[in-house]
Structure 1
Amino acid sequence: MDAQPHRRFAGTLPADDTHPYRTGAWRPQSTEWDATGLTVIGDLPELSGVYLRNTENPLHDALGRYHPFDGDGMVHALHLHDGRADYRNRFVRTKGFEAELEAGRPLWPGVTESPAKALRPSPGPSARTGTKDASSTDVVVHRGRALTSFYLCGDLYAMDPRTLEQLGPETWDGAFPAEGVCSHPKVDPLTGELLFFNYGTAWPYLHFGVVSAAGELVHYAPVPLPGPRMPHDMAFTEHYVILPDLPMFWDPAALARGLYVNRWHPELPARFAVVPRRGGAEDVRWFEASPTNVLHWINAYEEGEEIVLDGFHQGCPDPRRDGDDRWTTTARYLDANELQTRPHRWTLNLATGRTTERFLDDTYREFGMINAGRGGRPYRYAYTMTAEPGWFLFNGLSRFDTHTGAAQEWRFPKGVYASESPMAARAGATAEDDGHVLTFVTDLNTDSSECQIFDASDVSAGPVARILLPERIASGTHTVWAPEESLG
């Protein structure tokens, strides 16, 4: 392995840091690496493409309290090609990152602080005035460009997916919406379109858009809501987008005072807007279901006159532990076990307007990935993560069968934590689970990191290959596998 530091950054994090999400598995990095010809243990499958992961990686101390969603975006790229593996990692050079780098200090508060504490105006579109757009939430690949996103709505920052060269904010030829783009844009594998949504505090509160495979904003429409909401994810089918209106949103009284405080409203139903992919406000159809909160959807598809929508239902969206400051300020909405997050199916009948729903499994799971070629179409398998009790850390990987409820499980050794795990289909495969699953792991026992690769049809057998990285990387979340032909 030839590993060379690309750049080392000097931040302002305290040397004796004790914050639970800036130490241990969440210890951030300050070095960007270029590493080629990585050491492989086991048999490297014939994969050709890039495994990308975005994660929160703070360079500076917090203005007040720190939440793990406040960190700067950092993208990790593992490029598999010609029987070898290369690795790079780069900070996302957002406007806010550049401003703080120049100032040598933090300039914006995080999610648990008032936006009024900002030392400078927000440098980009955001639903929270005064919040830095860290572009640290998700990463997708569209028309050969890796795009990073922010959960409170922001710019999409583009990178070359192989080299992580910074390409700046996406513009769509000047049509990028002033409201920004939220957490999880989706790429339709068959049409090449990018589907996205955004939200804010002014009517109509929610929009969705469609970007063509050529990078043109071809549709942008409002989805009026009763008031400000904060959806995190969306789903799509061949002909529709599905946008949630869920009863976890900002407290209206606090919002009137300029404060952004989450509140659970169990008296309200969960609602789903089903909209044709070129539809407008007049085409929205609303479906109601039992109250819950959902951070992430797994997939959706059409089946006759019904839409099948799968996601992670929270049985306890607002867990509380009175008197536990660590819990209330940093961990309250982070533990899938406390949130009681389980795979769930909502069936929306377009003929009758009725919703039926049921749990798919009793095990607490989250962060489901599928064979991306089945996105928006019928599918069977979801590759999901189990969580370390009490923490935002992934201690297990499973292949969950949505048809039977059966799961193949792999648990990582104690002190080893994984990332969201995309499925890379084998070239020419016809079976849905013919391919491999990849995950970056952080090993506290050996102070090291690697990418582990599993047979997607036999996850419980353990990794078939391990690719050693040049440094232990911080724990992280959202990922994508981009096959070589999608990289341009």
Structure 2
Amino acid sequence: MDIEILGRALTTLPADDDHPYRTGPWRPQTVERKADDLAVIGEIPADLDGTYLRNTENPVHPAMEIYHPFDGDGMVHVVGFRDGKAFYRNRFVQTDGFRAEQESGRPLWAGLAEDPAKSPTQTGWGARGRMKDASSTDVVMHNGVALTSFYQCGDLYRLNPTTLETLGKASWNGQFPSEVGVSAHPKLDERTGELLFFNYGTDAPYMHYGVVDAKDNLVHYIEVPLPGPRLPHDMAFTENYAILNDMPLFWSPGALAKGKYAARFHPDIPTRLAVIPRRGQTSDIKWFEADPTYVLHWVNAYEDGDEIVLDGYFQQDPEPPAGNGTLYQRMFRFLDNELMGPQLHRWRLNMVTGLSKEEPLSDTKSEFGMINQQHAGLRHRYSYSATTKPGWFLFNGLVKHDADTGIEEKYLFGEGVFGSETAMAPRLGSTGEDDGYLITIVSDMNHDVSECLVFDARNLAAGPLARVQLPERVSSGTHATWAPGSMIPDWREHDHPASALDL
């Protein structure tokens, strides 16, 4: 393995740091590396072709008062596969906030668990305002580049999908809604090349929905009126519709009037689901009511006759009790899937009658589900979810769910080993929905190493086909995506997978 140091971030974190989400599996990285011809235990399939991209939170400065793990600066990791070999890169997303704090050598924005009024910098980004847009939540591909995003809205930063060089912000030919930004989970339709997105804030109409075409033009943008400020996190789409939501977990209006942001669950208010024709107007929105819950992530949606079928994770307890634990245990209970109890769930929305039906699909507590993205917006059979360590925001295993039979296949990483959101990579020439590979990065606390694991999607329980050795232990994080080589410009035209664009 040939390793080269590309850069280092200035960090002011204390050497004796004891914060639970800046140590252990969440220990941040400050060094940017490139490594080629990675060592492999097992064999990388020759028909695995593309890049696995993963976003992580990597703080370089201490919080003003209380650090929340979602405050960390975005760092993207890429493991690229071509012709049975693999390479690795990791780079900070060069956001405006990251560059400003690197220049000042100190934090300039209050974080999620802090009072935004105490921010030294009175301008910022996001639905809350005055926050730093860390661009550390999601990463998706669109129009040949990777886009990173922030869960409370902000800019979309454009990255080269092989070198991870920051290429600036998405502008959509001057039409980007910079006054509001874009939320964490824009959705790519691989068949049309369209990117569907939403944003939200504290001012009426509280939400917008839009469509960007395959050439980066903002071709559709409408208001989605809500009763008040809400906390939507994800969306879904079908061939003809987009699905947004109004969940009964949102900022307390009384606290918000005082400039405070405290999320509260209202079990007496139903979940509301909005179905919009993909190029429809505000007047075309159809609302459906369902049992009160909070859905952090959707898996997929598709059309079935008169119905929209929508799969996601129904939380049994969106606001777990604070209890009598430590400050960190009370504050981070919203990161504990054991307490919130998300389970795979299905909603059926009848476009003719306006009625909804719903049912649980699994009793396994899981989240962060992915599918074969060639089936996004179409009927799917298989989903791949993460199971989590009780008490922590850490992924300790995978579960493959068969929606047709209800059968689940599971794989646990092992004690002290934690993974990332698992992407499904269809193999070259694939002929079936699960004809491909599952890709995830794991961090082994027992041996202080990280590996990228490659599984046969049709035989998860057999364990990894390949364990690709990475040059440093990777910090835990949030979302990931698979970018097939066919989506990456010039991918097949050079001797080395990244040689055309290396720094």
Q: Which runs of 5+ in 2 are unaligned?
A: 490-503
Distance 1:374 1:400 in 2: 15
Distance 1:164 1:434 in 2: 28
Change (3 A) 1:32 1:13: same
| 1:271 is the counterpart of 2:272 | yes
Tell me the alpha carbon deviations over residues 458-485 of structure 1, each in whole angstroms, 9 at most, x when there is no partner: 1011001010000111012200000001
Distance 2:414 2:83 in 1: 31
User: Do the aligned partners of 2:313 and 2:345 also contact (CA within 8 Å) in 1?
Assistant: yes
2:31 maps to 31
1:368 maps to 369
After TM superposition, list the pairs within 5 Å mapping 1:217-232 onto structure 2: 217-232=218-233
2:146 maps to 146
Distance 1:8 1:204 in 2: 42
1:389 maps to 390
2:6 maps to 6
1:434 maps to 435
SS at match of 1:353: coil
1:449 maps to 450
Distance 1:50 1:330 in 2: 35
Distance 1:289 1:327 in 2: 33
Tell me the alpha carbon deviations over residues 204-258 of structure 1, each in whole angstroms, 9 at most, x when there is no partner: 1000100000110000011100111010000000000000100000000111111
SS at match of 1:460: helix
After TM superposition, list the pairs within 5 Å mapping 1:18-57 onto structure 2: 18-46=18-46, 47-57=48-58
SS at match of 2:210: strand
2:168 maps to 168
Tell me the alpha carbon deviations over residues 281-334 of structure 1, each in whole angstroms, 9 at most, x when there is no partner: 100100000000000000000001100000000001110232323345542111
After TM superposition, list the pairs within 5 Å mapping 1:3-402 onto structure 2: 3-46=3-46, 47-123=48-124, 125-177=125-177, 178-327=179-328, 330-402=331-403
Q: Which amino acid letter does the alignment assign opposite residue 63 of structure 1?
A: M
User: Do the aligned partners of 1:154 and 1:179 also contact (CA within 8 Å) in 2?
Assistant: yes
Q: Which amino acid letter does the alignment assign opposite residue 294 of structure 1?
A: V
Distance 2:331 2:43 in 1: 40
Change (3 A) 1:450 1:122: farther
Give the number of aligned pairs: 487
Distance 1:146 1:430 in 2: 26
Cα RMSD (Å):
0.9
Distance 1:155 1:280 in 2: 24
Tell me the alpha carbon deviations over residues 416-450 of structure 1, each in whole angstroms, 9 at most, x when there is no partner: 00000000001221211000000000000000001
Tell me the alpha carbon deviations over residues 133-191 of structure 1, each in whole angstroms, 9 at most, x when there is no partner: 00000000001010000000000000100111110111011100021000100000110
Distance 1:451 1:44 in 2: 11
User: Do the aligned partners of 2:338 and 2:390 also contact (CA within 8 Å) in 1?
Assistant: yes
Distance 2:198 2:205 in 1: 13
Q: Which amino acid letter does the alignment assign opposite residue 442 of structure 1?
A: S
Distance 2:402 2:327 in 1: 36
Distance 2:165 2:25 in 1: 27
User: Do the aligned partners of 1:182 and 1:198 also contact (CA within 8 Å) in 2?
Assistant: yes
Q: Which amino acid letter does the alignment assign opposite residue 402 of structure 2?
A: D
Q: Which amino acid letter does the alignment assign opposite residue 454 of structure 1?
A: F
User: Do the aligned partners of 2:49 and 2:427 also contact (CA within 8 Å) in 1?
Assistant: no
Q: Which amino acid letter does the alignment assign opposite residue 110 of structure 1?
A: G
2:496 maps to none
Distance 1:462 1:66 in 2: 36
SS at match of 2:477: coil
SS at match of 1:363: strand
Q: Which amino acid letter does the alignment assign opposite residue 342 of structure 1?
A: Q
Q: Which amino acid letter does the alignment assign opposite residue 70 of structure 1?
A: D
Distance 1:486 1:326 in 2: 45
User: Do the aligned partners of 1:223 and 1:280 also contact (CA within 8 Å) in 2?
Assistant: no
Q: Which amino acid letter does the alignment assign opposite residue 486 of structure 1?
A: M
Distance 1:468 1:8 in 2: 22
Distance 1:470 1:230 in 2: 38
SS at match of 1:253: helix
Distance 1:476 1:418 in 2: 9
1:421 maps to 422
SS at match of 1:196: strand
User: Do the aligned partners of 1:50 and 1:481 also contact (CA within 8 Å) in 2?
Assistant: yes
Distance 1:261 1:252 in 2: 9
Distance 1:321 1:265 in 2: 16
Q: Which amino acid letter does the alignment assign opposite residue 412 of structure 1?
A: F
Among all aligned residue pairs of Structure 1 and Structure 2, give the percentage whose two residues are the same amino acid. Answer: 57
Normalised by the size of structure 1, how large is the TM-score? 0.99
Tell me the alpha carbon deviations over residues 81-108 of structure 1, each in whole angstroms, 9 at most, x when there is no partner: 2321110000111100001000001111
Distance 1:167 1:334 in 2: 32
Q: Which moved more, 1:373-382 or 1:393-402?
A: 393-402
Distance 1:145 1:316 in 2: 38
Q: Which amino acid letter does the alignment assign opposite residue 364 of structure 2?
A: T
Distance 1:329 1:111 in 2: 15
Normalised by the size of structure 2, how large is the TM-score? 0.96
Change (3 A) 1:204 1:315: same
Deviating runs (4+, > 4 A) in structure 1? none
Q: Which amino acid letter does the alignment assign opposite residue 144 of structure 1?
A: G
Distance 1:4 1:397 in 2: 32
Distance 1:326 1:55 in 2: 24
Tell me the alpha carbon deviations over residues 46-65 of structure 1, each in whole angstroms, 9 at most, x when there is no partner: 21111000011111111110
SS at match of 1:332: helix
Tell me the alpha carbon deviations over residues 23-81 of structure 1, each in whole angstroms, 9 at most, x when there is no partner: 00000001000111110110101211110000111111111101111100000011112
Distance 1:441 1:122 in 2: 37
